[in-house]
């Protein structure tokens, strides 16, 4: 039979890592070279069919700046899934991503599906974070890992699809 599943999903990560761009690519199939930075948070929804289940993602795209940090729990509390985004050309953004993972491990849902997205994978010539390092970190911390590009669309649908497959079925 056919089942519907609603899943609250939050994107966390450094400002500029490409959270909004990943959402825009997933929801609208678009990319903007000059994506405006997010104020507070923005909400989107998108459905995805996986096997015999239609997953309706309720997506919270957060701002990422330190001054909005205190708001983050509102968005990750009760979330079934999180995508922690860093920029492969920025070691600082990877450090920041690890801080978000720690916070979610302490304060988030115990059974939250967590994905680590190494975004801007199209900028190989500017890479600062290797895929090996990120994959090892993800494996140690119970996340799954993909490198993505909101610009070329590489792995963008795939990461949402993989999350949908891993969500606990009602």
User: Which residues lie near ligand GDP (CB under 6 A)?
Assistant: 13, 15-21, 32-35, 37-38, 64, 119-120, 122-123, 149-151
Instruction: Closer to ligand GDP by CB, 15 or 131: give it.
Output: 15
Q: Is 20 in the site for Mg ion (CB under 5 A)?
A: yes
Q: Which residue, 20 or 149, has its beta carbon nearer to Mg ion?
A: 20
The number of helix segments (H) and strand segments (E) in the chain equals 5, 6
DSSP codes of every residue in 84-149:
EEEETT-HHHHHHHHHHHHHHHHHS-TT-EEEEEEE-TT-GGG--S-HHHHHHHHHHTT-EEEE--
Minimum gap (Å) between residue 65 Cβ and Mg ion = 10
Q: Which is nearer to Mg ion, 5 or 81 (CB)?
A: 81
20 vs 119, which CB is nearer to Mg ion?
Answer: 20
Kindly identify the residues of this chain, within the stretch 31-50, that bind Mg ion according to CB under 5 A: 38
The sign of the dihedral angle between the CA atoms of 147, 148, 154, 156 is positive
Residues that bind Mg ion (CB under 5 A): 19-20, 38
């Amino acid at each position: 039979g056919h089942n519907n599943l609603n899943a609250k999903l939050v994107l966390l990560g450094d400002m500029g890592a490409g959270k909004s761009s990943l959402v825009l690519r997933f929801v609208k199939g678009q990319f903007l070279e000059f994506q405006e930075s997010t104020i507070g948070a923005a909400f989107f929804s998108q459905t995805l069919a996986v096997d015999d289940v239609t997953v309706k993602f309720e997506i919270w795209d957060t701002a990422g700046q330190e001054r909005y940090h205190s708001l983050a729990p509102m968005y990750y509390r009760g979330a079934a899934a999180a995508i922690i985004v860093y920029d492969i050309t920025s070691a600082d953004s990877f450090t920041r991503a690890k801080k978000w993972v720690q916070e979610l491990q302490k304060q988030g849902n115990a059974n939250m599906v967590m994905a680590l997205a190494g975004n801007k994978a199209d900028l190989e010539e500017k890479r600062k974070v290797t895929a090996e390092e990120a994959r090892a970190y993800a494996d140690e911390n119970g996340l799954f890992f993909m490198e993505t590009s909101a610009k070329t669309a590489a792995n963008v649908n795939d990461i949402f699809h993989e999350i949908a497959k891993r969500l606990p079925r009602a």
